[in-house]
């Protein structure tokens, strides 16, 4: 296993007291700063909160097989962009350990795990699912935008095992455009159904006409869901 890497990140600080956190993972080839800029461009008003810190980590550059081994900022390697091939578990597990340092940093700052949401766009959503289902199932929730898991994903088995042991699982929000020609809408639907069958509480939203991209209505839906999962703390 590779050494645990400290990841670069940018963050949007809360306007008030920091009592919850969101970790938002970019898609393949992007950066935390790139995703942050994209979110700001499509969200009116900006995706920011009085009590929530939003962290946008950047994946380290690694050789990426679908690009014939060229370096790319990706969370893990894969044989091809398809549901029908084995996962590269080693690269996924290494990155889960590195992202775990960010989660631990929030915990050290006084934010309990049940006040942390993990999510991402495209490959970032798949990474978030592995992180939440397999390593940090005690987070408040997980979201995946325009994302999918492989048919034999270790995440399904992890969910089944926790269900069998009567252990809690985070709730999942998925969003997907019907015109996505990179990560097919059907792949997202199938992922949702398999996770639901394994025992996870899932909600799947289709966005008609949306390609492989973020949209303003999608981000508004996400904002409301985040506030539902990690609302402001009421003073006693």
Q: Which tokens is 14 given?
A: 């809360």
Q: Which residue has the tokens 């992922």?
A: 191
11-26 mean pLDDT = 96
Whole-angstrom distance, CA of residue 213 vs CA of residue 146: 8
The string of pLDDT tens digits covering residues 187-214 is 999 999 999 999 999 999 999 999 999 9
Alpha carbons within 13 angstroms on the beta-carbon side of residue 186 total 4
Closest alpha carbon to 75 in 116, 26, 21: 26
Q: What's the chain's average pLDDT? A: 95
Angle between helices 216-229 and 32-42 (to 10 degrees): 110
The model scores a pTM over 0.85: yes
* Percent of all residues in the chain with a pLDDT value above 90, rounded to a whole number: 89
149-166 mean pLDDT = 95
Q: Is 236 a catalytic residue?
A: no
Q: What is the pLDDT of residue 93?
A: 95
Q: Is 93 a catalytic residue?
A: no
Main-chain dihedrals φ then ψ at residue 47, nearest 5 degrees: -75, 90
Main-chain dihedrals φ then ψ at residue 187, nearest 5 degrees: -60, -40
Q: What is the pLDDT of residue 153?
A: 96
Whole-angstrom distance, CA of residue 64 vs CA of residue 75: 10
The string of pLDDT tens digits covering residues 38-89 is 999 999 889 999 999 999 999 999 989 988 889 999 999 998 888 998 999 9
Whole-angstrom distance, CA of residue 177 vs CA of residue 188: 9
What are all long-range contacts of 37-41, with beta carbons under 8 Å and residues at least 24 apart? 38/214, 39/214, 39/219
Q: Are strands 116-121 and 20-25 parallel, antiparallel or unpaired?
A: parallel
Q: Is 205 a catalytic residue?
A: no
What are all long-range contacts of 79-83, with beta carbons under 8 Å and residues at least 24 apart? 81/182, 81/183, 82/150, 83/148, 83/149, 83/150, 83/151, 83/187, 83/190
Q: What is the pLDDT of residue 1?
A: 47
Q: Which of 114, 190, 212, 215 is catalytic?
A: 212
Which 8-state DSSP code applies to residue 135?
I
Q: What is the pLDDT of residue 137?
A: 96
Q: Which of 28, 91, 98, 122 is catalytic?
A: 122
């Amino acid at each position: 296993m590779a050494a645990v890497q400290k990841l670069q990140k940018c963050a949007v600080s809360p306007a008030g007291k920091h009592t919850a956190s969101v970790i938002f993972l970019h898609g393949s080839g992007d950066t935390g700063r790139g995703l942050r800029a994209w979110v700001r461009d499509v969200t009116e008003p900006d995706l920011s909160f009085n009590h929530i810190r939003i962290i946008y980590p950047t994946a380290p550059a690694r050789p990426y097989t679908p690009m014939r081994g060229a370096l790319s900022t990706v969370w893990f390697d894969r044989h091809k962009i398809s549901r029908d091939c084995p996962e590269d578990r080693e690269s996924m597990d290494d990155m889960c350990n590195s992202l775990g340092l960010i989660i631990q940093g929030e915990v050290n700052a006084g934010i309990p795990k049940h006040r942390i949401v993990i999510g991402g766009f495209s490959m970032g959503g798949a990474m978030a699912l592995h992180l939440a289902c397999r390593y940090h199932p005690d987070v408040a929730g997980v979201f995946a935008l325009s994302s999918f898991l492989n048919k034999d994903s270790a995440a399904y088995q992890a969910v089944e095992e926790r269900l069998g042991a009567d252990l809690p699982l985070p709730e999942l929000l998925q969003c997907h455009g019907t015109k996505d020609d990179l990560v097919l809408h059907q792949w997202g639907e199938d992922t949702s159904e398999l996770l639901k069958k394994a025992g996870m509480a899932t909600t799947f939203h289709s966005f008609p006409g949306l390609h492989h991209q973020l949209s303003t209505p999608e981000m508004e839906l996400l904002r409301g869901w985040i506030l539902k999962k990690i609302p402001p703390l009421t003073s006693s």
